[in-house]
Amino acid sequence: MQGDDGRIALDLMDETAFARLSGDGKTLVLRMAGTDGGEGQWLDQLVLPASSPFAHGGGCVCCTPDGAIAAMLADLFRARVTGQRPWFARVIVVVPAALREGTRQALEANRVVAARYRPVWLSMTNTPAH
């Protein structure tokens, strides 16, 4: 599911929207801690680390959920390129509905994420945003 620009498709959805999907064997799924596992043929489902109020004074970009997501996306890209992870064409980030908009804005503003991932936000608009 790569676009013409070569970046990896990135979608963001809540548990309800994710539950309606079936796996395609090429999509990596990142989930917030505490969300259900979900069925299907997903390439892998990884749990995002919980944010910590103690690291770096709490509330910094590194410690907020969107910061953890950006860091994990960077690690996943590096592992994909070096062959430490199977090749994936799409990443779905499953977050609670209340955090979705803020997470979307943070990911769109992150230059490292933007360089490697192409936001499609299908579950938010029903049509690709970019």
pLDDT in tens, 77-94: 999 999 999 889 999 998
Whole-number pLDDT of residue 6 = 87
How many structural domains does the chain have?
1
Flag whether 35 is in a domain. yes
Is 97 within the bounds of a domain?
yes
Q: Is 125 a domain residue? A: no
Is residue 76 situated within a structural domain?
Answer: yes
- Residue 2 pLDDT exceeds 70: no
Q: What is the pLDDT of residue 8?
A: 93
Instruction: Pick the closest to residue 66 from 36, 110, 34 (CA basis).
Output: 110
Average pLDDT on 44-54 reads: 63
Q: How far apart are the first and last CA of the chain?
A: 14
* Least confident residue range of 2-6, 29-33, 113-117: 2-6
Range of the domain at 45: 8-49+61-119
Specify if 109 maps to a domain: yes
Residue 20 has a pLDDT of: 86
Kindly state the helix (H) or strand (E) to which residue 106 belongs, with its residue range.
Answer: helix 97-109
Q: 43 lies in a domain?
A: yes
More confident residue, 55 or 124: 124
Check residues 73 and 42 and name the one with the higher pLDDT. 73
User: Would you say residue 107 has pLDDT above 80?
Assistant: yes
